Structure 1
Amino acid sequence: MTANPILLQRKYARVIECFAKQQGLSLDAALDFFYHSQVYQLIRDGVSDMHCMSDLYLAEELEQEYVEKMAKNK
């Protein structure tokens, strides 16, 4: 299923804002991480209707990916 592009943009903004708050990141840093994440690719490509998941769920998935990436870079 393909989501409306305008609705997806709003969804991205809410998820990025939630993720930034959870991680204590600036919105710019959260935005950069989001657009280079696997979570973004899954939502964008419509895999498993990820765009239907709650903003909090997606932010938590993004947080998990962020923690894994930070641990890998240490």
Structure 2
Amino acid sequence: MPKISPELLSILRCPVTGASLIQDGEELVAAVADESGVKPRYTIEDGIPLLLPPELLAAATAAGSAQHDPAAGTPA
């Protein structure tokens, strides 16, 4: 499990609520709930926190896989 350093955690903020983040296993969790009463959660991949709101994460993941695959844009 990647451990985020306390120094980094002290400056990171939730992009949805602006609250500080707490590491919970392989995720970061906002210290404060959003308008719907849910504390946003963010995954950590290869030691890097993915601080995108959930509605943007799916779109970024889909777009990123096509943009970063050199073979995806070349004709066969």
Do they superpose with TM above 0.5?
A: no
Provide the TM-score with structure 2 as the length reference. 0.30
Q: Which has the higher strand share?
A: 2
Q: Which protein shows a greater Rg?
A: 2
Bigger relative contact order, structure 1 or 2, given CA contacts below 8 A and separation 6+?
1
TM-score when scaled to structure 1?
0.31
Q: More helix by proportion, 1 or 2?
A: 1
